[in-house]
Amino acid sequence: MALSRTVIRLTFLMVLLLVGCTTSPSATSPAPQPTPSSGETMSPAEPSPPPTPERPLAARVNGQPIYLVDYERQVAQYEAAMIARGEDPSSPEGQAQLMQAREQILNWMIERVLVEQAAAQQGITVTDAEIEAAMAQMIQDAGSEEAFQARLEQNGLTQQEMWNELRAELIGQKVIEQVIAAVPETAEHVHARHILVATQQQAEQLLAQIQAGGDFAALARQYSQDESTRDAGGDLGFFPRGVLMVPEVEETAFSLQPGQTSGVVQSSFGYHIIQVTERELNYPLSPENLQLLRDRAYQEWSEALWSQAQIERYVGQNS
């Protein structure tokens, strides 16, 4: 199952909604030390007790339980957030949204367990000090210890439960950082341009003109149906592998050397002619492409976790 980093961070969005923060606590961001609460000691998450008939499950992930009570608490928080936004969970639209949210929440809870299991196998941990710093930042953003406690109580959460949520989030951040660290900041790029038309016949006619010395950019401006590149003479700019929306164009571009023009290439968008103007072996990735490749690296890693996991679900969309 393909899940993005947006899904893995769903819990923190809920936490931010809870405390009204504008920035996420980070394991690497300095924060003041927490103010001791009224006699409550915060400690790392303890192993879950074994399931019993009195503790029904929402799911089981590689043998590790996700308890129904925890799942329903997350759903209740989402429903409360809907009401706070002025939405009616009992309306047909609200019911449809809540049904979709139930599936997403369970997927997120499953993914969180998978990530924590992978982190344990790789020796990735977080310290008490890191969690305390994140908790302190949330208290500061809430305005005071009392305001923070009030918001926890309003949402049926204890500090221990919030501690566990933060621990899971920080572990998830470290896992993401490790996965995306393998993505280099430079890569082979080609600088290419293309012409897109609706029929093979028209593409072959334009290709013949180009082969006879016609100006590629001028023909692109006159005939290409790709509105995003037409005015620039079909210029796609420099790009690495794995970023174009049309894989047939990307694959063809990387098979060409500077100055070469392809034959007619068919895709779901129509018929293309591609010409490469430059090629660089170690060209810096743009911030947008670097983020795209990092997201893809994490998604592929996540998909591998899901494909290898033994997952049992005991609630569904209509639960």
Sketch the domain layout of the chain as residue ranges: 5-33+54-182+300-313, 187-284
Q: What angle do CA 146, 150, 155 make, to 5 degrees?
A: 150
Locate tokens 């949520």: which residue?
Answer: 165
Residue spans of beta strands (DSSP E) within the chain = 57-61, 64-67, 186-197, 235-240, 265-267, 270-284, 311-313
pLDDT tens digits for range 53-90: 668 999 999 999 999 998 998 898 888 888 888 999 99
How far, in Å, CA of 211 to CA of 157, rounded?
70
Q: Tell me what pLDDT residue 158 has.
A: 84
Q: Cα–Cα distance between 190 and 72 in angstroms, integer?
A: 50
Residue 41 is predicted with a pLDDT of 29
Question: Tell me, what's the pLDDT at 309?
Answer: 96
Q: Are 98 and 79 in contact (CB under 8 A)?
A: yes
Report the pLDDT value the prediction gives residue 21, as an integer from 0 to 100.
37
Which pLDDT score is estimated for 52? 60
Per-residue pLDDT, 97: 92
Beta strands of 31-137 (E only): which ranges?
57-61, 64-67
Instruction: Sort 84 into a burial class: Cβ within 10 Å, 0-12 / 13-18 / 19+.
Output: exposed
Q: Which pairing describes strands 57-61 and 64-67: parallel, antiparallel, or unpaired?
A: antiparallel
Q: Which residues of the chain are modeled with pLDDT < 50?
A: 1-47, 317-319
Q: Give burial (CB, 10 Å; 0-12/13-18/19+) of 169.
A: buried
Which fold is adopted by the domain 5-33+54-182+300-313? Triger factor/SurA peptide-binding fold (1.10.4030)
pTM > 0.85: no
* pLDDT computed for residue 80 by the predictor: 86
- Give the model's pLDDT for residue 151: 83
Question: Domain 187-284 adopts which CATH fold?
Answer: Chitinase A; domain 3 (3.10.50)
How confident is the model at residue 2, as a pLDDT?
33
Hey, what amino acid is at 317? Q
